[in-house]
Chains A and B, each alone.
Chain A
Amino acid sequence: MIESNAVSSPAGAPAVEVRGLSHAFDAPGGGLAVLSAVDLAIAPGEFVSLVGPSGCGKTTLLRAVAGLLAPSTGGVEVLGGTPRQAQRAHAYGLVAQDPGLLPWRSVHDNVRLGLELTGRQADVPALLGRVGLGGFERYRPGELSGGMRQRAALARALVHGPRLLLMDEPFGALDELSREAMRVELLRLWEAERITVLFVTHAVREAVLLSDRVVVMSPRPGRIVADIPVPLARPRSEASEDTPEFLALVARVRASLHAAHGSARAASTPGDAL
Chain B
Amino acid sequence: MVVVPPLVVAVVLLAAWEAWVRLREVRAYILPPPSAVFEALRDDPTRYLEALGETLVSAVGGLVVASVIAFALAVVMAHSRVLERALYPPALLVKVTPIVAVYPLLLIWFGFGVWPRIAVAALITFFPMLVNAVVGLRAIDPRALDVMRVLDASRAQIFWRLRLPSSLPYVFAALRISVPLSLIGAVVAEFLSGSAGMGQLILQANGAFDTPTLFGAIFVLAAAGIGVTALVSYVESRVLDWHAASTAG
Answer yes or no: do A and B interact.
yes
Residue numbers of A with Cβ under 8 A of B are: 63, 66-68, 87-88, 90, 92-94, 96, 98-105, 113-114, 116-118, 140-143, 156-157, 160, 166
- Complex Cα distance, B138 from A205, in Å, reads 39
- The B contact surface, by secondary structure, is helix
Residue in chain A with minimal CB distance to B145: A100
- Complex Cα distance, B146 from A184, in Å, reads 26
Interface centre among B143, B150, B157, B162 (most CB of A within 10 A): B150
Q: Which residues of B contact A67 (CB under 8 A)?
A: 149-150
Contact pick for B245, options A98, A102, A116, A140, CB 8 Å: A140
Residue in chain B with minimal CB distance to A139: B245
Apart from A63-B146, A94-B147, A102-B162, list 20 A-B contacts with CB within 8 A.
A67-B149, A67-B150, A87-B151, A94-B146, A94-B150, A100-B141, A100-B142, A100-B146, A100-B147, A102-B141, A102-B144, A104-B165, A104-B242, A105-B242, A113-B161, A114-B151, A117-B151, A118-B152, A140-B242, A166-B150
Is B248 engaged at the interface, CB distance under 8 Å to the other chain?
Answer: yes
Contact pick for B143, options A66, A96, A103, CB 8 Å: A96
A141 & B246 in contact (Cβ 8 Å cutoff): yes
Residue in chain B with minimal CB distance to A143: B245
Q: Which residues of B contact A113 (CB under 8 A)?
A: 147-148, 161
B148 & A142 in contact (Cβ 8 Å cutoff): no
Q: How far is the CB of B21 from chain A (nearest CB, A)?
A: 52
B246 & A142 in contact (Cβ 8 Å cutoff): yes
- Complex Cα distance, B148 from A131, in Å, reads 21
Contact pick for B148, options A104, A105, A117, CB 8 Å: A117
- Complex Cα distance, B144 from A98, in Å, reads 9
Is B153 engaged at the interface, CB distance under 8 Å to the other chain?
Answer: yes
Using a Cβ cutoff of 8 Å, how many contacts connect chains A and B? 75
Interface 1/0 per residue, B154-182 and A, CB below 8 Å: 00010001100100000000000000000
B165 & A88 in contact (Cβ 8 Å cutoff): no
A90 & B152 in contact (Cβ 8 Å cutoff): yes
- Complex Cα distance, B243 from A143, in Å, reads 11
- Complex Cα distance, B161 from A87, in Å, reads 18
- Complex Cα distance, B249 from A103, in Å, reads 11
Q: Which residues of A contact B146 (CB under 8 A)?
A: 63, 66, 68, 94, 96, 100
Interface centre among B141, B151, B249 (most CB of A within 10 A): B151
- Complex Cα distance, B249 from A141, in Å, reads 10
Q: How far is the CB of B152 from chain A (nearest CB, A)?
A: 4
Q: How far is the CB of A194 from chain B (nearest CB, A)?
A: 21
Q: Which residues of A contact B142 (CB under 8 A)?
A: 100
Size of interface on B: residues with Cβ below 8 Å to A: 24
Given A103-B243, A104-B165, A142-B143 contact (CB < 8 Å): no
Interface centre among A87, A90, A103, A140 (most CB of B within 10 A): A103
Q: Which residues of B contact A96 (CB under 8 A)?
A: 143, 146
Given A96-B143, A116-B161, A103-B150 contact (CB < 8 Å): no
Q: How far is the CB of A143 from chain B (nearest CB, A)?
A: 6
A87 & B150 in contact (Cβ 8 Å cutoff): yes
Q: How far is the CB of A122 from chain B (nearest CB, A)?
A: 14
B152 & A117 in contact (Cβ 8 Å cutoff): yes
Residue in chain A with minimal CB distance to B157: A117
B150 & A142 in contact (Cβ 8 Å cutoff): no
A87 & B152 in contact (Cβ 8 Å cutoff): yes
Contact pick for B242, options A93, A103, A156, A160, CB 8 Å: A103
CB-based closest 8 A-B pairs? A100-B143, A142-B245, A103-B246, A142-B246, A100-B144, A104-B242, A87-B152, A117-B151
Residue in chain B with minimal CB distance to A63: B146
B149 & A87 in contact (Cβ 8 Å cutoff): yes
Q: Which residues of A contact B148 (CB under 8 A)?
A: 113, 117
Q: Which residues of A contact B165 (CB under 8 A)?
A: 102, 104
B147 & A142 in contact (Cβ 8 Å cutoff): no
